[in-house]
Amino acid sequence: MNWLESNNRRREIENLLMAINYYITMKKTEVSWSDMIAAIDYMKKYILDFVDALTLQTMKKNNINEIYTNDKDFDCVKWVRRVWK
């Protein structure tokens, strides 16, 4: 979503979210206020923007260590394996 917004493709966000919603076997998770507060530590520790830090917090909370992204910012986190390079 962040990439779409920053590349002036906001109109595509709804289509992407609806497509993801149709993958019924894909686990979707919710983000809490405490997750957002905890993400601040990742912002400071790894010098990440808030969205990336919140992604890390959500991954940690759900025992996920792989991420499919071309965002190199995740490379500095030793416990995360970035799959798409």
User: Residues 21, 10: one domain?
Assistant: yes
Give the pLDDT of residue 4.
85
Print the domain residue range for 83. Answer: 31-85
Beta-carbon neighbour count of residue 3 at 10 Å?
11
pLDDT tens for 1-14 read 778 888 899 889 99
Give the pLDDT of residue 2.
76
26 vs 38, residue with greater confidence: 38
Q: Model-level pTM?
A: 0.81
pLDDT tens for 28-81 read 999 999 999 999 999 999 999 999 999 999 999 999 999 999 999 999 999 999
User: Residues 65, 84: one domain?
Assistant: yes
User: Residues 37, 23: one domain?
Assistant: no
Q: Are 82 and 67 in contact (CB under 8 A)?
A: yes
Alpha helix stretches (DSSP H) within 2-81: 2-6, 12-21, 33-46, 50-61
